[in-house]
Homo-oligomer: A and B are copies of this chain.
Amino acid sequence: MKTDSKVIQTNPPPRFSDRAQALVGQEMFSVLERAQAIAAQGHDVYHLELGNPRLTPPPSVVKRLCEEIAKENFGYTQSAGHPELRQSVALRYSQKTNLRLTEKHVVISPANLIISQFLDLACNHADRVVFFGPAFPSYWAAAAHIGLEVANIQLRSEDGYQLTEGHVLRAISLSPRAIIINSGNNPTGAVYDRRVLDLLVDLCALHGIWLLSDETYAEVDFTGNYYSLANRLESHVVVLGSFSKVFSVPGFRSGYLLADPEVAEKFALSNSTLFSCLPIFTQLACASGLEVVDEYALDVRTRFLTATKLCTDMINGSGLLTCVPPQSGFYVFVNISGTGVDDRTFCSRLLNYHHTAVTPGRSFGEGYSGFIRIAACGDLPYLRTGMERVIACARELAESKELGQVRK
């Protein structure tokens, strides 16, 4: 840096828009940054905050990625996504659902962005949207950004966070413009019942309500009874899928949606307006991954069933923390109320003193400040150590509570 370099003037910027003022982002990424700052001080930080499976991706994914890079395939592609990948997704879902799906039903976009795109295409400012809590932070962030009124229907831990007919009827009675559901739930792992989901699709059709089915964790279902709303791909239904979790490539930022062609076309126009298109090489790598997805997902499911069982057993065996065993995915949503502190206090103490990062429960909606989300990612020894730190932190807090003093 030159010694005569100037400091920039620091007048306040002009007023931000209402949407800018409503931006909250995803708290997991703030946690990641704090965790990286602590790691930079030389601490051995355990990362249980973000859902990064950290498995070895299928070799066919990496092979194709390298092949396309070797061809210097660095140009633009269609805004709706590369035709090869769209056709592969359509073929896979045609086989799964017995519907005649084509590439016109498929758009490639980052899975997280599809949430914002869906709400943007479905809702005007101040429209009402229904979530079933606890609900993924990006739903909240997207709804806040767009200025929507969120009706949060809380699911009950006593029912294993299941969606019931009663919840569906309550949601419809609120006359929302849109509903988001997330079977293979983040953070609870709940997998919803087919009859309840069919009822939801039918009632949304009847009342002209948009429905986003976030199926990011569909391939990591432990029940064997996963019901995809791709089976009910009517014009009001959008199904969101992701390659990040099943192929362990969250950094590709490649997801997809299935929708009626007229709706899919709007998403493609949204892509064209926002980011033009995605990289070709990551898209084609995912297309090659789809050739082996069933075999590979079997292994992924086995690993995460073991990993989440380890966490669940340690939590429920702690005599202090509790959780519902997940039916899918790799998250465990943990009740920490026995510690006497809220989620933020718990998380900052866990990170600062035990160098372990988890996500505060309130990121998943109001009413969850007595919870944290643990991402059971990493190998079993890593997870065991991370969980020991979580439980040690909880014990210290519980003891401090008895002594009437808590250090943050």
Contact = CB atoms under 8 A, between A and B. Distances in A.
Contacts of A249: 74
A-B interface, 6 closest residue pairs, ranked by CB to CB distance from nearest: A25-B272, A13-B235, A23-B269, A20-B121, A25-B269, A74-B251
Given A52-B76, A251-B277, 6 more contacts: A15-B208, A24-B269, A29-B272, A62-B72, A74-B249, A253-B278
Contacts of A18: 124
Given A8-B234, A76-B52, A124-B17, A94 B1 contact: yes
Contact of A236 (B5, B13, B145): B13
Tally of this chain's copies: 2
22 contacts: A4-B98, A6-B100, A8-B99, A10-B260, A13-B210, A14-B177, A16-B266, A17-B122, A17-B127, A19-B124, A24-B273, A25-B79, A25-B268, A25-B270, A25-B272, A26-B272, A36-B78, A62-B69, A73-B251, A74-B249, A116-B273, A138-B273
A251 B281 contact: yes
A11 B232 CA distance: 13
Q: Among the interface residues A76, A121, A127, A262, which one has the most CB atoms of the partner chain B within 10 A? A: A76
Given A1-B94, A100-B1, A141-B272, A253 B277 contact: yes
A274 interface: yes
Contact of A14 (B122, B248, B275): B122
Interface of A: 1-2, 4-20, 23-26, 29, 32-33, 36, 50, 52, 54, 56-57, 62, 65-66, 69, 72-79, 94, 98-101, 110, 112-113, 116, 120-125, 127, 138, 141-142, 145, 177, 205, 208-210, 233-236, 248-253, 260, 262-263, 266, 268-282
B266 A20 contact: yes
Contacts of A268: 25
